[in-house]
Amino acid sequence: MKFFLKINLSKENSIPVVQQVLKLLDEEKHEYMLCCDDRLGDLVTRDRCAVSAHEGIRWCDVIITIGGDGTLLGVGQTAADYNKPVFGINTGHLGFLTAIEGNQLDLLKSISDNKSFTVKKHHFIQAKINDGPWYYCLNDVVISKNIYSNTVELLLQSNGNQIMGFAGDGVIIATSTGSTAYSLSVGGPIVDSDLQAMIISPVAPHSLNRTSIVMGADKHIKISASDRYNNKAYIVFDGAMHQEISETDIISVQVSEKYVSIYTLGNFGQFEKVDKKLKSR
């Protein structure tokens, strides 16, 4: 098999894990390329090519990410575009999306036998501002107040009908995959990642009866945000890219047909991961 390794070198224990992974791949006679990063140093040799993410993902059979969920999210859209599955190794904090921990690397030997791991489809949500381009998010889209604002006024409609209106710090529209991320921290429900759904979770609503809503894949959501002092709000895509929005902008959000395939260990499900990783917090 051919593997492309995308590594988050800001994690202190990533390099030792990379060294072990490369040794294992060599022993198993697999081909591989590494992400291009000057910090890889001696890990890059004549036989270990360092290439761009697009080049490596286009070439490989499987993408291996070494880091946390953010590292996996960073390759998600390109992996989906090239129909390449992602195998995550967690060297971060929680790692809900990753298949194994850094101390479970021996399990990587069985990746090609299709017995130890399950590959699951995780659908994106897509969002756009007015008639602009679609942005694809595996976890969530967040609309938040300006740092100088007290609150932002939000109006949400679905298929032409108002579903929610409130003042607060913002709103999260999460995928079922992203229901264990930011949405969970504001009291949103954990939704089975096998479901194609959107979870709408208000952030610090100035209201006594504003709770999360779970919407089906056939719903199209329209959102407007305004501020009494005419400050601009922000929209954030998967916690990485953000853009200012004004009160005249309309945000469209819906479940996408695009998906990324992600390895999970055996039948170790989403709810078991949540129980294991969060029960001590």
Catalytic residue among 69, 169, 227, 238: 69
Residue 12, pLDDT score:
76
pLDDT tens-place string over residues 98-136: 988 888 898 888 887 767 788 999 999 999 999 999 999
CA angle in degrees (0–180, nearest 5) for 28-31-35: 120
DSSP 12-45: TTHHHHHHHHHHHHHHTT-EEEEE--GGGGGG--
Rounded to an integer, the average pLDDT of 21-29 is: 90
- The residue type found at 124 is F
Radius of gyration of the chain (CA): 20
pLDDT band at 270 (very low <50, low <70, confident <90, very high): low
DSSP string for residues in 162-194? EEEEEEESEEEEEESGGGGTHHHHTTPPP--TT
Q: Which of 201, 248, 202 is nearest to 226 (CA)?
A: 248
Enter the pTM of the model. 0.88
69 has catalytic annotation: yes
Instruction: Spell out a b/e string for 102-119, using b for 16 or more CB atoms within 10 Å of the CB, else e.
Output: beeeeebeebeeeebbee
Alpha carbons 190 and 178: distance in angstroms, whole number: 9
Q: What is the pLDDT of residues 210-260, one digit of tens each?
A: 889 999 999 999 999 987 777 789 999 998 888 999 989 999 999 999 999
More confident residue, 11 or 257: 257
**pLDDT at residue 50 above 80?**
no
- Residue recorded with tokens 């260990």: 265
The position carrying tokens 């409609």 is 157
Question: Does the pLDDT at position 48 exceed 60?
Answer: yes
Residue 72 DSSP one-character state? H
CA nearest 212: which of 159, 272, 140, 149?
A: 140
| DSSP label at residue 48 | S
Task: Express each pLDDT in 69-93 by its tens digit.
Answer: 999 999 999 999 999 999 999 987 7
Confidence bin at 276 (pLDDT 50/70/90): low
The residue with tokens 């051919």 is 2
Whole-number mean pLDDT of the chain? Answer: 87
**Mean pLDDT within 19-30:** 90
Quote the pLDDT of residue 10: 81
